A and B are shown apart, each in its own frame.
Chain A
Amino acid sequence: MTKRQLGFVFIALGVLAAAGMFLMDLVGAGQFQGIGPAQRLALIGAGVVIFVGLTLLPFGDNPA
């Protein structure tokens, strides 16, 4: 696997995690109306993962 591919994996995981957080709201899970504290933390985490993924893209075909 290359750094670029790893970057895409990170981005996909981050997007999925963020989408999952919003999906939880749709199905009514959690104790809070809107975005709760745990969801906010998870969303920040997902954002960090996406950011790391983006920064890996320029490293191209170097092995991961």
Chain B
Amino acid sequence: MSGKWQVGKLASGKSASGELAGWQVVLPRVLIGLALLAFVGYFIVYVIYAWHLFQFPFDYDQGEGFELMDTVLFSQGQWPYRDNDVYPFYSSNYPPLFHIFTVPLVWLFGPQYWTGRLVSFLGTLVTAVAITYAVRKDAEGRVGDAERRREKKEKKTSAISASLRFIPGKRPWLSLIVGLGFLASNYVYHVGPLFRQHMFMVMFETLAVVWLARTIDQEEAAGQRNNRALLVVMILLLFAGYTKQLAYATVAAVFIFLFLRQPKRAVLWAVPFAAVTGLIFLWINAATDGFWFLNTVTANVNPFVPGQFEGLFRQWFRLHTLFIVVAAGFAAYQLYFERLSVYSIWFVVAALNSVTAGKWGAGESYFATAVAASLILTGLALNRLLDWAERMSFIPVDVSGIGIPDTRPVKRFGISKSRNIPFLSTHLKRTHWQFALQTIIPLLLLWQAGKLFHMPTHTPTLAAIATALGQPTEVMIAPQTSCSAPRDPEPIPYVDSAGVSLLGRPPSKADTAAGIAITKLIARGKTAAFAEDAGFNFYLGRDVVTNPTQLLNLYNNNAVDLTEMLAMLDGQAFDTVVLRAQFYPPEVLNAIGQRYETTDLVQMNGFVYCIMTPRSVE
């Protein structure tokens, strides 16, 4: 749990905790155990949610089915960057890498939603492990540094006092908690097991930054550059960027860090990196007749909604307060009193870039990178704080069995002073300080765990746990309607401190039955449905028609010609139309309203779907 003092080869030192009373050792351990339990509990909840999602065969989050469609197209050797003006009016607005990684599963098992959900879920686990690894390696690095310093000093002098060195603690519990903290974040929980590429991007970003930190540390320790390791960092960054465009912020953070440490090397690597990135971009654009640029760049120019950003920013801070405050404090400390680490720069850049969460179509997941960075910084900062407290608490009362007091000089404000201090009273004050920190830190982690509270309560055990924790077992939420009359709130077996959330509740058997009911209504007709979700057409093996938000984005940028689509709707070429949130451009919605009428309303996942069939033409 703690660091220790070593006294070279001459005598054994007392551990700092050895100076504390028994209960003062036990209490922090109990609190650490509770904090670990809380974060392991969140992990179990995360797995439960993911498991339910893997079994759900329809769209849970709007857009999942289109990412599946992208994967299917890649599995057939086709690009998903297409002409939206012609049937089936479909194109993707995301880079390809997440879908390419999922292709083998689609080859093996067909167009199943669980394939991409599993890949994304595994990506979040890798990210959590990378966060744990980063904190663990930093602690191990400081242990190694301390031991090397001690050995060096011992070679120079044989004095016992000179060989006294504090060996920092590794604290595996802390690295584990920050790693699990990532999976415990409400945002990661909501989005992690979805067929969305965002968390896969965060995985590559985190791996790149952690690998860079390790590479630079090792290079500086060995005094020798390792360009092969830096190449791995660049490849990971490239992967992140070609998973989702938002990774540009992490790319910027990495090159800012490199520039601070090694300006010439940063420029030398930036040029080929930009060239390779640009060449891939141009190649895809040429291979898709320019539809890559249209669909991934033009279609992503969306209006900024200040209120949306402000709300999400406040929520991010409210949910992750401890992680953000500690990370920001540590980054500020490094800015003035240490060298800036890549983690500090990454956190600041990611936090600034989270302003893009205010774009129409963006959301809470845009904070996931900042969450990952803040967790690594939290782990590093708390480790150092605990080391400092333990170092301060130690006075070697019996160093070698001959009663040598601590005569090492103390440094205050850069001035060495003799440690001529009242021995026992100072020691007591310092051990109290150590005990206080060892108690407060796990308490703060428990407090943070409480702020992140989210739990499905659909089983008696989970409901009982929620009750025991003083949480409600149900939340009243009105189903979301857009094409039908508002409905009364109904009890939802899911509680989330983020507030009313449409994500997070494991889909139920009733939701699956509702999805199948919609497909049966579509199956009465012979054509593919003109549907806002892709899942129903996938289920029936029919064409996936339209990507509504993509059409709306292009429409808002005057970059789509709706003539053919409007003509088909006007001619009632589709036997069924399925609306969920009416994300289509206004002209399309108008055409649907003119030519189709609602025949059935089906509720699935808290949304009321309107199933429409052609109006009788007079």
- Give the B-binding residues of A (Cβ under 8 A): 1, 3, 6, 52, 55-56, 59, 63-64
Q: B335 to A63, Cβ gap below 8 A?
A: no
Residues in B lying within 8 Å of A, measured CB to CB: 259-261, 263, 335-336, 339-340
Asked if residues A64 and B339 are in contact (CB atoms below 8 Å), the reply is yes
Q: How far is the CA of A52 from the CA of B336 in the complex (A)?
A: 10
Among B259, B260, B336, B339, contact of A56 (Cβ-Cβ < 8 Å): B336
- Contact between B336 and A6 (Cβ–Cβ < 8 Å)? no
- Roughly how many angstroms separate A56 CA and B335 CA in the complex, as a whole number? 8
Measured in the bound complex, the distance between the Cα atoms of B336 and A56 in whole Å is 7
A41 vs B340: C-alpha distance when bound (angstroms):
26
Flag if B336 contacts A59 (CB, 8 Å).
Answer: yes
B414 to chain A, nearest CB (A): 13
Beyond A1-B260, A52-B335, 13 additional pairs, beta carbon < 8 A: A1-B259, A1-B261, A1-B263, A3-B336, A6-B260, A55-B336, A56-B335, A56-B336, A59-B336, A63-B339, A64-B260, A64-B339, A64-B340
**Residue in A6, A55, A63, A64 with the greatest tally of chain B CB atoms within 10 Å:** A64
A59 to B259, CA, bound (A): 19
Chain A to chain B contacts (Cβ below 8 Å), 15 pairs: A1-B259, A1-B260, A1-B261, A1-B263, A3-B336, A6-B260, A52-B335, A55-B336, A56-B335, A56-B336, A59-B336, A63-B339, A64-B260, A64-B339, A64-B340
User: How far, in whole Å, are A62 and B38 apart by their CA atoms in the complex?
Assistant: 41
> In the complex, which residue of chain B has the Cβ closest to the Cβ of A52?
B335
Complex Cα distance, B338 from A3, in Å, reads 10
Which 4 pairs show the lowest CB-CB distances between chains A and B?
A1-B260, A64-B260, A63-B339, A64-B340
Task: Return B249 CB to nearest CB of chain A, in Å.
Answer: 16
Bound: A3/B337 CA distance, A: 9
Residues of B within 8 A of A55 (CB): 336
A60 CB, nearest partner CB in chain B, Å = 12
Residue of B nearest to A59 (CB): B336
Q: Once the chains are docked, how many angstroms separate the CA of A59 from the CA of B340?
A: 13
Give chain B residues whose Cβ lies under 8 Å from the Cβ of A63: 339
What is the distance, in angstroms, from A13's C-beta to the closest C-beta of chain B? 11
Q: How far is the CA of A56 from the CA of B239 in the complex (A)?
A: 35
Cα of A52 to Cα of B261 in the assembled complex, Å: 20
Question: Shortest beta-carbon distance, B345 to chain A, in Å?
Answer: 10
